[in-house]
Amino acid sequence: MLSETKLNALKEISGGFSRDEAVWASGFLAGIAGASVNTPSLSSIAAPEAISVSKITLAYGTETGNSKKLAVELAGIIKKKGVQVKLADLSQYKTKDLAKEGLFFIIISTQGEGEPPILAKKFYDYLHENDPDLSSLKFGVLALGDSSYPLFCKTGEDVDSRFELLGAQRIIPLKKCDIDYEQESHAWAEHIINVVHKTAEIGQKISSAPKTATGRRKYKGTVASIINLNDIGSGKETYHIEIETEDPLVYSPGDALGVIAVNSKAEVDEIISLTGINPGKQITTAKITASAEELLYRHLNISYLLKTTVAQYAQITGHHIPEVRLGLLDLLKIYPVKNADDFEQVIAVLTGQSPRLYSISSSLEAHGDSEIHITVAKSEFFINDKKQNGLCSGFLAEFKEGETLEFYIQEAKHFRLPEPEKDIIMIGPGTGIAPFRSFLYERDAAGAEGRNWLFFGDRNFVSDFLYQSELQDFLKTGTLTHLDLAFSRDTDEKIYVQHRLEQKAQEVYHWIEGGASLYVCGTRDPMSRDVEKTLLNIIQEKGKHSQESALAYLEELELSGRYVKDVY
């Protein structure tokens, strides 16, 4: 036993020890004593800086819910291997806690022009606008993205490099995942487990990782029918397009059809004329070698350039150009290139043509595997007071019956129908109706017993009631249990789908309590946000919940797959 004096001295010295320091000290003392008990010797003890904790923080930054859903899934896998996991939503994360973290892992997606998800922007901005000391932090980043887009996984790259710059130690290399991310994300979770435990037993493969096909299958189709669903007097053009294929289609309700549009031939010809470039000249870009004309027509984005592309154009041409987004043709007219050689450099910095996704509005069960339907609203907007059409929606709207196009199927793993006996509530104004048309045809053809309730809205009943006759038929046959409509321009006071939800609050809550799944499709802002506020109010008022417990209630629905969104 120690004397009281030595004991007090030992307590004073060891009082401020960290866990790692305490472990090291115990081994050191055991070594001095020559202990024969099973206490680790000095040489076998990990140094204080080695990873010896079994608790991590797994944070996620999400826009559509994929990062959150994946984080929850991976947290479950990691916990089963004996590692404690604290899940953190970056929209609510306290940035002052970052410097106190030990092992910190992030799953984050990229949006728009390489931007962070809206809900993670505060965290992203904190990292880039401040200089916290992160020298005690050990980290890894999993970036989600779509390689069809030019700034693939840029947010993840930014966060990874910024952490390193702030002194944090990267213990797992940056992992960039494309749309088929299951296998790679599970391998990433396995890597975390190996790093935390530092033991061979934990290095076994995670057997639960699903096997998924990689890459996208391309289909060639013929436009069999194209119909403007809006009537005379409408200020909108919404097209129902039916495409027939020779190869059998494979898709599920909720999936999307991906199209890569070609540019206007007249616009490409004018660009070639303005710049003097030889249209047949072979030019190599990051992804393809083709003639200048072919690149401009089929492969490169020329319609609405990224701000970063405009800045590169300014560097090449020597013009002072304000931060702006313009089409290439307008840019050439206002800030011309000196010669064809300069324009060849411009071609090299143009980004690839990005695909556009449209929710599939047909069903394999109802329509067979040789045709597929989409619902496309022709997009119109203004740049410098000049009216522009959306590239792909304008491209599709100009198709004629008998013309062909190439497309692929984009799986929407989070946007799936529940079991046939389960009830569903669908909220989809405008083209948000598309996946719900697929849902209704699928459930009708399969004889699903679950009830179906649709909330649909648009501007005017007479001119904008998309798929009116079909929905009324579904009501007559009982496939649709309820159909609630909101036409905002038909009344003095504008009525939207969220107002119809409020009017049916008691029954909506009763359906949810009975196990119904909620689906929302359409514009993110303001529609989906207004709908979510209304749902929270319904849960709070009809379920007698506090504001905090209503939020928890809705979050639980989301985590269990009973509240899903496909918003844009």
Residue among 177, 174, 175, 116 at smallest CA distance from 145: 177
Least confident of 133-137, 253-257, 392-396, 467-471: 392-396
pLDDT tens figures, 68-86: 889 989 988 988 888 888 8
Report the SS3 class of residue 414. Answer: coil
The whole-angstrom separation of Cα 138 and Cα 143 is 17
Q: What is the CATH number of domain 424-567?
A: 3.40.50.80
Place of tokens 């840029």: 154
DSSP assigned state of 249: P
Domain 55-199 and domain 424-567, same fold? Reply is yes
Give the residue among 128, 213, 135 at the shortest CA–CA distance from 169. 135
Class of domain 55-199: alpha beta
Can you give the pLDDT at residue 25? 54
Rounded to 5 degrees, what are φ and ψ at 169? -105, 120
Q: Where do we find the tokens 């819910």?
A: 65
Kindly state the tokens that stand for 169.
Answer: 């130690």
Report pLDDT for 113: 81
Can you tell me which residue has the tokens 């303005």? 274
Domain ranges across the chain? 55-199, 265-349, 424-567
Is this prediction's pTM over 0.75? no
Helix pair angle (434-446, 468-477), 10° resolution: 30
Q: What's the token pair of residue 41?
A: 């010797």
Q: Are 153 and 145 in contact (CB under 8 A)?
A: yes
Residue 430 and residue 458 in contact, taking contact as beta carbons nearer than 8 Å: yes
Per-residue tokens: 111: 């949006």
pLDDT at residue 36 greater than cutoff 70: no
- 408 neighbors 243 (Cβ within 8 angstroms): no
Q: What is the pLDDT of residues 224-281, one digit of tens each?
A: 999 999 999 898 999 999 999 999 999 999 999 999 888 889 999 999 999 999 999 9
Cα dihedral: 26, 30, 35, 36 (round 10): 50
Q: Which of 176, 174, 208, 178 is nearest to 190 (CA)?
A: 208
Look over the chain and give the mean of its residue pLDDT values, rounded to a whole number.
Answer: 85
Q: For residue range 130-147, what is the model confidence (pLDDT) as tens digits?
A: 999 999 999 999 999 998
Mean pLDDT, residues 496-519 taken together:
97
